[in-house]
Amino acid sequence: MVNTNSNQARKALVVVVIEGVLLKMGKSVYDEVIHSLYKDYHCYLSDCYDKPEYLKSVLQDLYGKSHVSIIESIKKHLGEYAIQEGIDAFVIGLSV
């Protein structure tokens, strides 16, 4: 049960960080990403924890080369948590 709770906490942290980065860029950016995730992959932001390639693909499609700076901002905001089990896999998935 502890592992499940820890995993849910890590997932929640990742979602909050992604939301924060996108909202800092603007509500329209956030809305556009959320819409594209659902349109292209029938998923929500919370699903990106297990499927970071979906978020990366949507960011690439919407923002071209600028997606790299968005991903770097997400990684920066995750900070020391980026090395935790689960979050590290998310970060690697965004980076490849």
pLDDT at position 5 is 83
pLDDT higher for 44 or 5?
44
The contacts of residue 65 (CB under 8 Å, 6+ apart) are: none
Beta strands in the chain, from DSSP E residues, in sequence order: none
pLDDT tens for each residue of 53-91 = 999 999 999 999 999 999 999 999 999 999 998 999 999
CB within 8 Å of 49: residues ≥ 6 apart: 10, 11, 14, 15, 86, 90
The pLDDT score that the predictor gives to residue 4 is 78
| Contact status, residue 37 vs residue 58, Cβ threshold 8 Å | yes
Q: Domains in the chain, please, with CATH?
A: 2-95 (1.10.1200.200)
